[in-house]
């Protein structure tokens, strides 16, 4: 007799890393951080990879976006990769960081360094309130609710009932209250360093968090929430904690992103933006911080570079039906994402690890 | 508020409700049966809209009415096919892993929107509609565009067709039983997996027809039209209760009317916010939704 059962698939749990022994990862990240930090002084051209030298403003701009996305992706990894919370509303907190900071800069005399902490406190409060409503439901319903909240902000930002957010046009950066070193093309490297600092800070905060006692509970909730409850712990509080930390980090990312692209654009509040964040994390590797960071960097790089390639006429010889989609970075990234999910569920990180493992065996 | 304004708003709100229902019913069934949140569902809607646009602007049939009939047929078939293909090609290989299934539908959605954007640009594409859609009739002194009523009527017809299918056919019986208790149906030796493809195909079909009507309703189709409406469809599904078709229909009417009336009287965007607030209230008071069964 054959009885169909939902056999546990290996794809789910095997692709996630085992709880680690003391790891060298933080030192590796410090090393990579140092390499990134000196890039603005390296006048080496990398033809094809970047236009101009590594130290050129255009290159640093692309890298800065990649670094912000890396930090953002790590913050999302706390939710999906470590706690198993599928949020479709991460864009909300990122957008609060972008718009909140910009509005404070435009309408008050606060310094950037004062405005950002204030905004982050606000983001933390909003995340606590909305998180505690959304976490009343689990799984897919949670995803839908977070999505609805995010869409609410998107609607407000676009419809702009109070005439403060600039509607669909967006809101240029209030540059009067920005320190001079962040203004102008010459000073892109300072913005780049802020982005780098954000990415590193995000990594170390997430690293500390997931290796703390609470972080272990998050991972237990991801594996089996009922069992956590059975052991006498209340998952709700732990989930809310992960949600709030991830949201505040996303808000901080938004505040830095504002500096990088010098303005607030309603697109950062849209569902599509959240879906992009998911693509980053899964592309890089779910449940591994460095994987998520890698995914963010790759996403930022490709989404900025592919339109440039298209403008340079790389795809011009192709037939029209192929050229159109190929000039859309999201088409390539989305397709890559689908292929990876089907054939390498651990993302780029698992491919790299597999490569490393096969080398080690030899 | 004068009666004319009231009637106009009500009919428009009901039209919107119809579109939400066409999107949300498929979502709700897919979720009820398979626990999959199909983020690519908005894409099915969009594909319907573009299929209609392509037929209306490229097919050389002189009569607009006939062309529209062809457009509806093409969109229906396209929706059926894309639903079945997504299930067979992308959902089935990941069977048993719900989160990854949801993620892959998100990827399909992104790639699909960009693909359509690459082909047809992001500008709204409009097409000629049959004369009957542009007619205006008088109801209680209000001049109601007939296209709104057609949207409402078509959605009602499809609602009853769907309910009849679920109630009176064997496939419908299996789907209803599967929503109730999938493991039990499997234990009785019935291949539920075959129904998975079926609900995706039905969902694709309904969404694609919604896309055709939506392209007329919103006066044009854009690559993001499906995703934008999907958000409200999600809200409808949660308020109505996951897996319940009648709950979805009820919630669609509530959401559509609320949105339309509040947007008109309190300013653009406020209605959308009210709908989100409705969702939050539903979750706080009745997390399983209006007509949902056991809380999940």
* Tens of pLDDT, residues B211-259: 999 999 998 999 989 988 998 998 999 899 887 889 999 999 999 999 9
Which residue does chain B place closest to A325, by CA atoms? B118
- Asked if the structure places residue B295 within a domain, the reply is no
CB contact under 8 A, A148 and B118: no
CB < 8 Å to B268, chain A: 159, 161
What sections of chain A are H helices per DSSP?
A: 10-14, 25-38, 57-77, 90-107, 112-134, 139-159, 188-211, 213-223, 225-230, 235-261, 271-284, 289-311, 320-326, 329-343, 347-361
Check residue A21 and give its pLDDT: 57
- What is the domain range of residue B77? 3-285
Could you tell me which residue, B271 or A165, shows the higher pLDDT?
B271
CA separation (Å) from A71 to A20, A247, A248, A284, B195?
21, 12, 12, 13, 42
Q: Which residue of A8, A84, A330 is in closest CB contact with B114? A: A330
CB contact under 8 A, A144 and B238: yes
> Both tokens of residue A52?
């101009």
* A86 in B contact zone (CB under 8 Å): yes
CB contact under 8 A, A9 and B97: yes
Among candidates B228, B19, B226, B215, which has minimal Cα distance to B125? B215
Decide: B262 and B274 in contact? Cβ < 8 Å. Answer: yes
> Both tokens of residue B22?
């066409």
CB contact under 8 A, A331 and B115: yes
- Asked if the structure places residue B291 within a domain, the reply is no
- What CA–CA distance (Å, rounded) separates A216 from A233? 12
Long-range contacts of A20-23 (CB under 8 A, 24+ apart): none
Which residue does chain A place closest to B273, by CA atoms? A152
> Both tokens of residue A202?
């995000």
Q: Residue B277 belongs to a domain with what CATH number?
A: 1.10.3470
Indicate the average pLDDT of chain B: 89
CB contact under 8 A, B276 and A159: no
DSSP assignment letter at A87: -
Check residue A3 and give its pLDDT: 42
- What CA–CA distance (Å, rounded) separates A146 from A91? 10
Distance of CA A155 to the CA centre of its chain: 22
Q: What is the mean pLDDT of each run of 10 residues along chain A (362 residues)?
A: 42 51 80 85 76 79 94 95 92 95 88 92 96 86 86 85 76 73 76 93 94 92 90 92 96 94 88 91 89 93 80 70 78 89 85 78 53
Check residue A196 and give its pLDDT: 95
Query: Tell me: the pLDDT tens digits for A8-57?
Result: 444 444 455 555 556 788 888 888 888 888 888 887 777 767 777 777 88
Q: Which residue of A134, A138, A148 is in closest CB contact with B231? A: A148
Question: Which residue is associated with the tokens 């590797």?
Answer: A285
CA separation (Å) from A234 to A21, A214, A227, A238, B271?
26, 12, 11, 7, 36
Which residue does chain A place closest to B110, by CA atoms? A334
Q: Which residue of A80, A139, A275 is in closest CB contact with B109? A: A275
- Asked if the structure places residue B157 within a domain, the reply is yes
> Both tokens of residue B215?
């392209």
CA separation (Å) from A160 to A187, A291, B229?
32, 37, 20
Is pLDDT above 70 for B30? yes
Which residue does chain B place closest to A4, by CA atoms? B186
Helix (H) or strand (E) holding B142: strand B142-145
From chain A residues 296-325, the ones with a CB under 8 A of any chain B CB are 321, 324-325
* A353 in B contact zone (CB under 8 Å): no
Check residue A296 and give its pLDDT: 94
CB contact under 8 A, B100 and A86: no
- What is the domain range of residue A204? 54-276+284-293
CB contact under 8 A, B235 and A144: yes
- Asked if the structure places residue A184 within a domain, the reply is yes
- Asked if the structure places residue A350 within a domain, the reply is no
> Both tokens of residue A2?
């054959």
Closest approach of A122 to chain B, Cα-based (Å): 20
- Asked if the structure places residue B161 within a domain, the reply is yes
CB < 8 Å to A5, chain B: 183, 186
Check residue B293 and give its pLDDT: 66
Query: Tell me: the pLDDT tens digits for A251-299?
Result: 999 999 999 988 888 889 988 899 999 999 998 888 889 999 999 999 9
- Asked if the structure places residue B292 within a domain, the reply is no
- Asked if the structure places residue B229 within a domain, the reply is yes
Which residue does chain B place closest to A321, by CA atoms? B119
Cβ-based neighbours of B9, under 8 Å, separated by 6 or more: B260, B261, B264
CB contact under 8 A, A140 and B242: yes
- Asked if the structure places residue B217 within a domain, the reply is yes
Distance of CA B178 to the CA centre of its chain: 21
In chain B, the number of structural domains is 1
* A27 in B contact zone (CB under 8 Å): no
**Burial zone of A28 (CB within 10 Å; 0-12 exposed, 13-18 middle, 19+ buried):** exposed
CB contact under 8 A, A279 and B267: no
CB < 8 Å to B296, chain A: 137-139, 141
Is pLDDT above 90 for B128? no
CB contact under 8 A, B231 and A338: no
Hey, which residues does B143 pair with through a beta bridge?
Answer: B138
Look up the ipTM and state it: 0.84
Is pLDDT above 60 for B2? yes
In chain A, the number of structural domains is 1
- Asked if the structure places residue A251 within a domain, the reply is yes
Provide, rounded to the nearest whole percent, the portion of chain B with pLDDT above 90: 47
- Asked if the structure places residue B296 within a domain, the reply is no
Query: Tell me: the pLDDT tens digits for B189-218?
Result: 888 888 899 999 999 999 999 999 999 999
Query: Tell me: the pLDDT tens digits for B57-90?
Result: 888 777 888 999 999 999 999 999 999 999 999 9
- Asked if the structure places residue A311 within a domain, the reply is no
């Amino acid at each position: 007799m054959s009885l169909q059962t939902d056999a546990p698939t290996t794809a789910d749990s095997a692709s996630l890393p085992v709880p680690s022994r003391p790891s060298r990862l933080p030192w590796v990240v410090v090393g990579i951080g140092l390499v990134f930090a000196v890039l603005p002084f390296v006048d080496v051209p990398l033809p094809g990879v970047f236009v101009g030298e590594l130290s050129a403003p255009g290159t640093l701009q692309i890298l800065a976006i990649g670094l912000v996305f890396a930090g953002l992706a790590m913050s999302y990894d706390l939710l999906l990769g470590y706690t198993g919370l599928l949020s479709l509303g991460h864009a909300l907190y990122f957008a609060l960081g972008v718009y909140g900071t910009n509005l404070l800069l435009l309408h008050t005399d606060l310094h950037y360094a004062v405005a950002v902490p204030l905004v982050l406190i606000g983001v933390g409060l909003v995340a606590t309130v909305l998180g505690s409503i959304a976490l009343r439901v689990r799984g897919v319903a949670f995803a839908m609710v977070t999505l609805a909240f995010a869409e609410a902000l998107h609607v407000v930002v676009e419809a702009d009932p109070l005439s403060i957010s600039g509607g669909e046009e967006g809101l240029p950066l209030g540059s009067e209250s920005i320190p001079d070193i962040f203004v102008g093309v010459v000073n892109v490297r300072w913005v780049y360093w802020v982005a780098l600092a954000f990415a590193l800070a995000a990594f170390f905060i997430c690293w500390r968090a997931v290796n703390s006692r609470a972080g272990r509970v998050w991972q237990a909730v991801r594996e089996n929430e009922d069992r956590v409850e059975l052991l006498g712990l209340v998952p709700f509080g732990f989930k809310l904690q992960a949600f709030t930390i991830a949201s505040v980090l996303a808000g901080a990312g938004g505040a830095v992103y504002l500096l990088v692209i010098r303005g607030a654009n309603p697109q950062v509040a849209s569902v599509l933006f959240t879906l992009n964040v998911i693509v980053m994390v899964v592309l890089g590797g779910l449940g591994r911080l460095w994987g998520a960071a890698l995914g963010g960097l790759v996403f930022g790089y490709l989404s900025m570079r592919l339109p440039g390639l298209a403008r340079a006429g790389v795809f011009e010889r192709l037939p029209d039906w192929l050229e159109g989609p190929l000039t859309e970075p999201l088409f390539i990234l989305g397709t890559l994402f689908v292929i990876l999910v089907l054939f390498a569920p651990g993302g780029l990180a698992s491919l790299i690890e597999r490569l490393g493992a096969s080398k080690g065996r030899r | 508020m004068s009666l004319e304004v009231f009637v106009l708003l009500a009919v428009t709100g009901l039209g919107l409700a119809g579109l939400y229902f066409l999107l949300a019913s498929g979502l709700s069934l897919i979720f009820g049966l398979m626990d999959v949140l199909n983020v690519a569902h908005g894409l099915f809607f969009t594909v319907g809209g573009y299929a209609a646009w392509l037929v209306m602007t490229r097919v050389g049939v002189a009569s607009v009415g006939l062309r529209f009939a062809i457009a509806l047929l093409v969109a229906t078939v396209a929706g059926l096919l894309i639903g079945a293909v997504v299930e067979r090609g992308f959902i089935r290989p990941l069977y048993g892993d719900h989160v990854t299934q949801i993620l892959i539908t998100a990827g399909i959605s992104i790639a699909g929107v960009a693909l359509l954007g690459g082909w047809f640009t992001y500008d709204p594409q409009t097409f000629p509609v049959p004369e009957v859609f542009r007619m205006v009739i008088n109801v209680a002194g209000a001049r109601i565009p007939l296209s709104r009523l057609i949207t409402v009527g078509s959605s009602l017809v499809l609602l009853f067709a769907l309910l009849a299918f679920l109630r009176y056919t064997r496939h419908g019986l299996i789907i209803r039983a599967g929503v109730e208790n999938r493991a039990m149906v499997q234990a009785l030796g019935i291949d539920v997996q075959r129904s998975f493809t079926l609900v995706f195909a039905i969902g694709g079909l309904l969404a694609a027809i919604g896309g055709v009507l939506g392209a007329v309703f919103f006066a044009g189709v854009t690559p993001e039209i499906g995703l934008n409406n999907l958000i409200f469809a999600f809200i409808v599904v949660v308020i109505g209760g996951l897996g319940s078709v009648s709950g979805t229909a009820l919630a669609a009417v509530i959401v559509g009317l609320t949105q339309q009336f509040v947007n008109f009287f309190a300013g653009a965007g406020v209605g959308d916010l009210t709908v989100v607030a409705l969702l939050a209230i539903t979750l706080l008071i009745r997390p399983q939704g209006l007509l949902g069964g056991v809380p999940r």
